[in-house]
Structure 1
Amino acid sequence: MKIAKSVLIEPQRNDLYGMAAIALSFFVFAYSSNFGAASILAYYALWFPLLLVDYRRVAGNSFRYLWIFGFALFCFLSVFWSLAPSVSMRAAVQYLTHLICALIAMRTMSVETLCRGAILGCGLVLVYSLLFGGYHYDALDGTYSFVGAFASKNQLGFYASLGVFFSFAMAAVFRARNLWLAGCGMVGLLSTYSLFASQSATSVITTLAVVALCAGLYAIMMLAPRNRRLFFGAALVLAAGAGAAALQFGAMDAILAIFGKDSTLTGRTYLWQQGIAAAGETPFFGVGYQGYWVPGFAEAERLWQEFYIGSRSGFHFHNTYIEAMVETGLGGTLILAFILLSTLTGHLRRFLTVERSPESLVLLGVASLLLVRSFVEVDIIHPYHIGSFLFYFAAGKLTVPERRTVRTHFEPFVSGSSSAQPG
């Protein structure tokens, strides 16, 4: 039996394979520490064989991706000065191959397929956590929180955040109907429950902020690009003013109090101080990619002990830029920040200039979520992490010419017939 190439690599015809591959990738990212190396091999098996189907179609013009590889290549260079060269080399290889998988997914999957696969994946991850997960006692704040099958409530909260976001995107932006609309509702409710059960203030606040942002952008997407830019500019000024006023009157402390947190963010501020001090010792190039949290290293052992991390793994400075500064110095941090900001502004520019661009709206939401979380979490600099997969997927889409498409999802706002042509 011969399988047509299009059902594997053509974005308009590979929905079935794409949804399955995305969903299984989400599950591997969530629980690879539970299932071991076999799950990682299964993840590679989902994406790398697509290069053999049609290399030129799947790989595309590699010169367009050079800026996306910047941080991964810098991680390789850090091996030469790393305090733990073997650790850095292994992690750099994993990160690079993980990046390539994300770009293969970007080349072969549409954003709508990504949303559908993400909904299935988040649903699968959260159901598994509800069935086989449990609670964890936090010695720092003296509370119990539901962590599911994860080692951290923040990771459960992140998947719950993604479940809420992609359910909203599929239902509102892509106008899901029938079974998919029901699926969005079920996964959205499951994600909302898991979000609050995890008691992760970071995940709850960032989810509400990004969904509100995307809802506002969706409301103005029906406008002509010129009017859309005017509304966006005015809304940005008003939001900045309101945010400044809220901070002035102590809104942040009030919000944290709702979750039983204080201004130290459950020890994060102390951890940031320690990270800044560590970065100051090797400010330009760092200690090497993943060369700080190594068993046997005095400072890492001290912080693990202070924060009751008995496993001596899965810990970080809870700030992407501090973590990057410690491991890759100023050089790596600037490259990483450049990629993230370029992704955000690139999709914002497409959203504001293209007649109607639901794909850019969704990817702008993804980039916004990762940017907001980057100040309190580390989602985009580790291999086999859902954050870094979505990060490079969104960045890679900027290398694909924008399709100026008026889809049937928006028929109430469009007169005339639908059309699509490359931009």
Structure 2
Amino acid sequence: MNTRTREIILTIFLILASAGVLTIKPAQEISMSPLGGDKIDTLLNIISYLILFYFLLIHWKKFLYVITKNPLQFLLLGIVLFSLLWSEDLSNALNYVRGIIRIYLIATYLAIRYTLKEQMRFMALALGLGASLSLFFSRFMGGYIHVAPELAGMWSGIYGHKNELGYMMAWSTGVFLHLGLSINRYRWLMWILCGVSLCLIIFSRSTTSLAIVLTMVLLLPFYNFLKKTNYKLQVMMMSLGLMLLICFSLVLMSHIETLVGTSGKDLTLNGRSDLWAGVISKVWERPWFGYGYYGFWNSPNASNLRATYEWASNSHNGFLDLLLDLGFFGFIVFAVGFMRCFFMALSRITSIGKKPEDYWPVQMLILIVIVNFTEARLLTPSWNWLMYVTTALSLTVEYQRNRQVSTDKLTLITVQNTFSN
């Protein structure tokens, strides 16, 4: 087995583990442990770290190259680590920090070894397997559909909760939608898996996920129009379109139950606004550096909020949780990095975008924004954060590679002109 094949196999393992496919979880009210016991998670983490240590040893120069070309992501990681000094829940924070470091290393490795299109194939493999297993376990095995009164009948798949299933299937539907519109080989399979993923969203009754899928579909013709306009108009229209679609998605999330006849609105904005008002007041108590990474919700600072909103273990908003953890300093570093990533993805559409799969980086970023309006999935060891960091680093590597190619071509033309004269 050559080195490249070995690396691909190990990479597939990392992606499957990150997508939650290797830890099959029943509905959370039935059991909080995955199939095979709690030691499965520990074993997977140990194997993942060993694989990453191997990758780091053989590619350490390229790891350093990515860090220097996109210092904002590394700076944000540094702020997270530094914030442990004042975190009031250090033991919990350390558990999550290990996951954040692992995600950063996986994202860096993917950026240096695989193109965005190759990464999309890895994603399709993991998400397709997750969709297939969720359909099988929910349909044919007991314990993978919620039985709690407030969630009764809603599918949880292999992810333990209906929201997590819907969220992962939104990613899955998006990936297979774009691949189904872009490739010829196995196109039939892409559409089948897209349909399965969409059905699982419906069975999970996840309103946010339905809004995400609809937003992605509505954006597809918009990208084709962007390629036909000048760059300044592209930026203005994309920014305006993004704001309008986010507003539309938020309104849709509040009313889609009525439209599709579902029930149980625990992913809508209902019940969140009062909590957010309390969270914002806490943000202003420590505005610049926050309460430390994962240092707020289990500390005395959150006691009043936890007593008032017993269901709140986080802000149910990724941006507010980021402000709580790292303050405006950390939030600004994240925001600058996100906007840089967004404009690189937009520039990619206008320069090399030919097929819908080329639009996927922008779609991912929009998905991340919408999800984090009602869920706290920023700076957490999750699929959401892995996809963001991987996209940001991969776009940076691709930009640097294209820039080097352009420089080499210009140098060659200059040399040829010199000799011809």
Q: Given the two structures, how large is their TM-score scaled by the length of structure 1?
A: 0.77
Q: Which residue number in structure 2 is paired with residue 281 of structure 1?
A: 285
State the Cα distance separating 1:340 from its structure 2 match: 1.9
User: Which residue of 1 is the match for residue 273 of structure 2?
Assistant: 269
* Residue of structure 2 in register with 1:415 after alignment: none
Give the deviation of 1:356 after TM superposition.
4.7
Distance 1:215 1:114, change over 3 A: farther
Residue aligned with 2:222, SS: helix
Q: Could you tell me how far apart the structure 2 residues matched to 1:287 and 1:320 are?
A: 15
Q: 1:55 to 1:153 in 2, by over 3 A?
A: same
- Report Cα offsets for 1:273-324 as digits up to 9, x if no partner: 33223323322222210112338886289359722x8xxxxx4211111111
What CA distance in whole angstroms lies between the structure 1 residues aligned with 2:125 and 2:45?
A: 19
In structure 1, what is the Cα distance between the partners aligned to 2:302 and 2:63?
45
Residues 234-383 of structure 1 aligned to structure 2 (within 5 Å): 254-255=255-256, 257-258=258-259, 259-260=262-263, 261=265, 265-294=269-298, 299=303, 302=306, 306-307=310-311, 315-354=313-352, 356=354, 361-383=359-381
DSSP-derived class of the 1:147 partner: coil
The structure-2 alpha-carbon separation of the partners of 1:150 and 1:200, relative to structure 1 and needing over 3 Å to count, comes to same
Matched, 1:99 2:97: no
Tell me the amino acid that sits aligned with residue 77 of structure 1.
F
Match of 2:169 among 114, 137, 160: 160
- State the SS of the aligned residue for 1:146: coil
Shift of 1:163: 0.8
Can you list the C-alpha shifts for 1:200-225, whole angstroms capped at 9, x where unaligned? 111110121023213531x347x56x
- How far apart in 1 are the matches of 2:386 and 2:240? 32
* Residues 58 and 108 in structure 1, CA contact (< 8 A), matched pair in contact too: no
Deviations 1:363-392 (A, max 9, x none): 111111112222222223102x10011000
Q: Residues 59 and 43 of structure 1: is their aligned pair in 2 closer, same or farther, counting only changes over 3 Å?
A: same
Contact 2:89 2:295 in 1 (8 A): yes
Q: CA–CA distance in 2 between the matches of 1:30 and 1:381?
A: 21
Do structure 1's residue 169 and structure 2's residue 174 form an aligned pair?
Answer: no
Establish whether residue 70 from structure 1 lines up as the match of residue 75 from structure 2.
yes
Q: Counterpart of 1:306 in 2: which secondary structure? A: coil
CA contact 1:295–1:301 (8 Å) conserved in 2:
no
Distance 1:164 1:30, change over 3 A: farther
Distance in 2 between residues matched to 1:125 and 1:422, nearest whole Å:
44
Deviates more, 1:141-150 or 1:72-81: 141-150
**In the alignment, structure 1 residue 136 sits paired with structure 2 residue 125:** no
Q: Where does residue 202 of structure 2 map in the other structure?
A: 196
Can you give the 5+ residue segments of structure 2 that lack an aligned partner in the other structure? 26-32, 35-39, 403-407, 411-421
Point out the more displaced range, 157-166 or 364-373. 364-373
- SS for the counterpart of 1:51 is helix
Paired residue secondary structure (2:159)? coil
* Partner residue in 2 for 1:393: 390
- Match among 115, 123, 128 for residue 118 of structure 1: 123
- Where is the helix percentage greater, Structure 1 or Structure 2? 2
Change beyond 3 A, Cα 1:19–1:318: same
Matched, 1:181 2:179: no
The answer to whether the Cα contact below 8 Å between 2:107 and 2:386 also exists between their aligned partners in 1 is yes
Q: CA deviation at 1:74?
A: 1.0
Q: What amino acid is aligned across from residue 271 of structure 2 in structure 1? A: G
What SS does the corresponding residue of 2:380 show, helix, strand or coil?
Answer: coil
Question: Distance between the aligned counterparts of 1:29 and 1:78, measured in 2?
Answer: 32
Distance 1:27 1:152 in 2: 12
Q: CA RMSD in A?
A: 3.8
Match 2:19 to one of 26, 30, 50: 26
Give the whole-Å Cα distance in 1 for the aligned partners of 2:293 and 2:100. 10
**Aligned-partner residue type, residue 15 of structure 2:** I
Aligned to 2:417: none
User: How far does residue 88 in structure 1 lie from its aligned partner after superposition?
Assistant: 2.7
CA–CA separation in structure 1 for the residues paired with 2:203 and 2:112: 36
SS of the aligned residue for 2:288 comes to: coil
Of residues 205-214 and 232-241 in structure 1, the stretch that sits farther from structure 2 once superposed is: 232-241
Paired with 1:393 and 1:64, the residues of 2 have a C-alpha distance of 14
Which residue among 205, 211, 220 is the counterpart of 1:205?
A: 211
User: Counterparts of 2:372 and 2:409 in 1: how far apart (Å)?
Assistant: 33
CA contact (8 A) 1:22 1:114 kept: no
Give the 5 Å matches for 1:54-93: 54-57=59-62, 59-93=64-98
Q: Runs of 5+ in structure 1 lacking a partner?
A: 310-314, 405-420
Aligned residue for 1:204, secondary structure, equals helix
Give deviations 1:338-357, integer Å, cap 9, x for gaps: 22222112211232244758
1:98-121 Cα shifts (integer Å, max 9, x gaps):
212111112112222222221221
Q: Which moved more, 1:348-357 or 1:259-268?
A: 259-268
* Partner AA of 1:38 in structure 2: L
What is aligned with 1:412? none
2:150 corresponds to 1:145: no
Q: TM-score under structure 2 normalisation?
A: 0.77
Aligned residues: 385
Comparing 194-203 with 91-100, which one deviates more in the overlay? 91-100
Q: Percent identity?
A: 20
**Alpha carbons of structure 1 residues 81 and 182: separation in structure 2 relative to 1, 3 Å:** same
Q: Which has the higher strand share?
A: 1
Q: In 1, Cα distance between the equivalents of 2:199 and 2:375?
A: 21
For 1:158-184, what per-residue CA distance to the aligned partner results, in whole angstroms no more than 9, with x for missing partners? 110011111022222xx3233x32321
Separation in 2, partners of 1:422, 1:387: 38
